[in-house]
Amino acid sequence: MHKYRLGLIGYPLGHSLSPILHHAALEVCQLYGEYRLYPIPPQEKNQLLELIVQLRNDKLDGLNITIPYKQQMLALVDILSSSAQAVGAINTIYRKDGILVGENTDAPGFWNDLQRLGWHEKKSSSQALIIGSGGSARAVTYVLAKNGWRVILAARHTNEAKKITSEIISAVSKSSGSIQVITLDANGLRSVPECDLIVNATPVGMIPDSDISPWPGGVPFPQNACVYDLVYNPTTTLLMRQGVQAGLRVTNGLGMLIEQAALAFTQWTGLVVNPELMRKAVETHLESEKA
């Protein structure tokens, strides 16, 4: 019986729920295997090359990539899927006919969860505010623009955000949405007109810094927006609490995590797993931690 050897590269990884998700998927699909964490500090990048060698030599079957390596790993694979090329970041690597393929399941995973929530329906004026300029911001910006949304990127590093804008606009059709860049500070956010969706695509607010929010103090939220925080640990972030206090609908990033994991699992195994079964496993795990 083949043993699937899967894992996640990133740093830090102490609170990752990915092993729970993928072990549940392996069990549901009656596959033998394991999903390990590979926390690699930025100063130990040679370990990235070692894992790629293991993947090439059939000692590993697939890898997920998270912060801070979603863009750095682009150069270590042989080819990119069309979506990964458009996004400019990968979160999944799989082997096909001896070739390492870089894939981005974050973008469709985010969109799938928006559909689950019923937040995806675009009106003529639909506009989203995305906070961040890293790999997750790229994925969210790409899939929203591809589906016709107007996107405002709020970033501290506006040069990187402008780079995202030029690269993604060239990758989506001319009939798709638009992208503009503003500075992530109180002045920049005060200039934001009404929007339907606010997405935190930064790690700000993640454990152990759960008392921090990416939203500057004293700046009112746009009315009637939905707040989607990609952070999922803690399950209720300060940004989400601020959104609730403003009367907005909020969610964390657990849904996107589950949806992208299900898509990655299919790339590795060829089998389709119901995301709701993975969600149930994670919810059971989180409940047991509260007990």
CATH number at residue 130: 3.40.50.720
Within this chain, do residues 215 and 270 fall inside the same structural domain, yes or no?
no
The answer on pLDDT for 92 being more than 80 is: yes
Instruction: Please state, as a whole number, how many other Cβ atoms lie within 10 Å of the Cβ of residue 238.
Output: 19
Within this chain, do residues 140 and 214 fall inside the same structural domain, yes or no?
yes
Within this chain, do residues 65 and 148 fall inside the same structural domain, yes or no?
no
Q: Report CA-CA distances (Å) from 280 to 48, 222, 258, 276, 287.
A: 32, 33, 10, 6, 10
The residue that leads in pLDDT, 208 or 76, is 76
Query: Averaged over 13-30, what is the pLDDT?
Result: 95
What pTM was estimated for this model as a whole? 0.94
Residue 123 is a catalytic residue: no
Average pLDDT, the chain: 92
**In this structure, are residues 146 and 172 in contact, taking their beta carbons and an 8 Å threshold?**
yes
Within this chain, do residues 117 and 154 fall inside the same structural domain, yes or no?
yes
Within this chain, do residues 210 and 163 fall inside the same structural domain, yes or no?
yes
pLDDT at 174: 61
CATH code for the domain in which residue 266 is found: 3.40.50.10860
User: How confident is the model over 250-272, as pLDDT tens digits?
Assistant: 999 999 999 999 999 999 999 99
Within this chain, do residues 100 and 122 fall inside the same structural domain, yes or no?
no
**In this structure, are residues 244 and 250 in contact, taking their beta carbons and an 8 Å threshold?**
yes
Within this chain, do residues 180 and 58 fall inside the same structural domain, yes or no?
no
**Of these residues, 3, 45, 70, 123, which one is catalytic?**
70
Side chain identity, residue 236: T
Domain count, the chain: 2
Within this chain, do residues 262 and 248 fall inside the same structural domain, yes or no?
no
Spatial CA neighbour of 47 closest among 69, 17, 80, 23: 69
Within this chain, do residues 40 and 85 fall inside the same structural domain, yes or no?
yes
Within this chain, do residues 172 and 142 fall inside the same structural domain, yes or no?
yes
pLDDT at 70: 93
Neighbour order of strands in the sheet with 92-96:
32-39, 3-10, 62-65, 92-96, 99-103, 79-80
pLDDT at 45: 84
User: How confident is the model over 27-80, as pLDDT tens digits?
Assistant: 999 999 999 999 999 999 899 999 999 999 999 999 999 989 999 999 999 999
| 3-state class (DSSP) for residue 19 | helix
**In this structure, are residues 71 and 135 in contact, taking their beta carbons and an 8 Å threshold?**
yes
Range of the domain at 24: 3-104+255-290
Angstrom distance (rounded) from CA 261 to CA 106: 9
Within this chain, do residues 117 and 224 fall inside the same structural domain, yes or no?
yes
Angstrom distance (rounded) from CA 109 to CA 169: 20
Quick one: the chain helix, strand, coil %, rounded to 5?
40, 20, 40
Angstrom distance (rounded) from CA 25 to CA 105: 16
Within this chain, do residues 99 and 141 fall inside the same structural domain, yes or no?
no
| 3-state class (DSSP) for residue 248 | coil
Residues of 112-125 as b/e, b for ≥16 C-beta within 10 angstroms?
bbbebeeebeeeee
Query: Averaged over 167-193, what is the pLDDT?
Result: 80
